[in-house]
Amino acid sequence: MTAEPPHRRLNSLTGNWVLVSPHRTQRPWQGKQELTAPPRPQHDSDCYLCPGNTRAGGQINPAYTDTFVFDNDYSAILEETDGPSDAEAKSSPDAGLSSLFRREPVQGTCRVICFSPRHDLTLPQMSTNAIRCVIDLWVEQTEQLGQKYKWVQIFENKGAVMGCSNPHPHGQIWASNQMPDIPTSEDEQQLEYMRNTNNVMLVDYISQEIGCEERVVVESEHWVVVVPYWATWPFETLLVPRRHVQRLPDVTDAERNDLASIVKRLLTRYDNLFETSFPYSMGWHGAPFVDGDTSHWQLHAHFFPPLLRSATIKKFMVGYEMLGEPQRDLTPEQAARRLRDLSDIHYLELECNR
């Protein structure tokens, strides 16, 4: 009999529920096992993102020496489109059918950020100074694109398991004139919380997490990382500043330095968990660039890693998750404890010193 029976937890940020089934951690696994990636060279002449190489679109990368950002050669959103205007969309053949056939134009831009010229260095293997350069670029790009677009989404897909098409460590920025669904849900939930309590949801939440400690993974002077109470992915984490901060450009110089350190510490723990280059999708959520009061927003970053039991076994979101609601076996408290107990020193660094 498990000490904790199956139960549901509410994601206060989105208003959705997740099913937690701790007793399923003992089930045998005969499903698919992922392949671990082989070591990479410092420079790959066939890589579209390495310094000096030609990209798929024909452009030649400069001989960059730290971070490098460029417009995505295959953008998902375009600044100028031949699509219909609002008025044209409303008068289109589809629009004449019923309110069930709706569409709207979207404009924006997509960019790629190379974290380092090194083809073989992921964020946890980079120095804190090098990570600080990445953070500065995140801030700069958010500030620049926020002058034109309502939403600026910074994210990273790390590893082939997460659909990353190029192994060179990099992230992306998609900026658009429309709010995506998930940030819209977060906006609504945070606003409702402020209306009911006159407080900022995630400021209250992180304060309470610090108080109970059981889901805290790592903390510093300015930042806290927790496995959220409502986590869906096995080792999902939430990175939140201690003070009220609405957007990345609002982060102070001291907070940026501290952020570089805590990102390295968190991602090193991820790699150390199964002694592999831990795949994940991560991204920043902050207040949209809109007119009006956005003080209900608190800046935060989500990390969604798929690995479940080992370097080769991942969590699949299928079946019940696609048709009912998300489900997890390992409790958030168990996941936080496992991550918290790991070393701040990368396992590869430890191997080199043996």
Give catalytic residue positions.
Answer: 170
Beta strand pairing call for 17-20 and 327-328 = parallel
**Residues in the chain, how many?**
354
Q: Give the torsion sign (CA, 291, 295, 296, 298).
A: positive
For 253, how many CA atoms within 13 A lie in the half-sphere containing its CB? 0
Count of H-run helices and E-run strands, the chain: 8, 14
Cα 71 from Cα 78, distance rounded (Å): 11
Provide the token pair at 130: 């090098």
| 3-state SS assignment for residue 249 | helix
Are 302 and 283 in contact by the 8 Å Cβ rule? The answer is yes
Residue type, 318: V
User: Of 351, 115, 131, nearest to 257 (Cα)?
Assistant: 131
Q: How far is CA 347 from CA 22, 250, 272, 304, 312, in A?
A: 29, 34, 6, 21, 17
- How many CB atoms are located within 10 Å of the residue 138 CB? 24
Rounded Cα gap, residues 63 and 67, in angstroms: 11
SS3 284: strand
| Interatomic CA distance for residues 164 and 228, integer angstroms | 25
Q: Which two tokens stand for residue 39?
A: 């070591």
> Which of 338, 145, 153 has the alpha carbon at shortest distance from 234?
338
